Amino acid sequence: MPLLTKDMVPNILRLGGSFQVDVDIPPRFAPGDRVRARDINPVGHTRLPRYARGRQGVIQRDYGVFIFPDANARGEGKKPQHLYSVRFMARELWGPEVRAQDCVYLDMWDDYLDFA
């Protein structure tokens, strides 16, 4: 695959596409599982928000298997894995100053998560 250039962007955006892959990989987590986002500091690209690292949440949904963007951006291949919606209580992320009922949903891949 060639490097993405600015001239390629309009056509890519027009065509759209999905990064979901048809690979049979068992999920590590299921809805309701308590998880902790890994406290990692990788060199280069990651979609794991710094404010969520080391924080606990609950799996809400398994979207299926997708290309892992961190590995793909580093040229390490697709490294397909499950992508989940994870609910974090806002207080877990930002402390007691925020409302107790507020929460944040983040989409996170297997490589970002451990069981809590």
From the candidate CATH numbers 3.40.630.10, 1.10.260.40, 2.40.50.140, 2.30.30.50, the one assigned to the domain spanning 19-115? 2.30.30.50
- Predicted confidence band of residue 1 (pLDDT cuts 50, 70, 90): low
DSSP 96: T
Per-residue pLDDT at 95: 96
- Main-chain phi, psi angles of 111, to 5 degrees: -65, -15
Query: What are the Cα distances from residue 73, in Å, to 19, 63, 84?
Result: 13, 21, 20
What pLDDT digit, counting tens, does each position of 53-106 carry? 999 999 999 999 999 999 988 889 999 999 999 999 999 999 999 999 999 999
Average of per-residue pLDDT across 17-39: 94
- Predicted confidence band of residue 2 (pLDDT cuts 50, 70, 90): low
Q: Can you give the pTM of this predicted structure?
A: 0.85
Q: Which two structure tokens, joined as six digits, stand for 102?
A: 């507020």
* C-beta of residue 48 within 8 angstroms of C-beta of residue 55: no
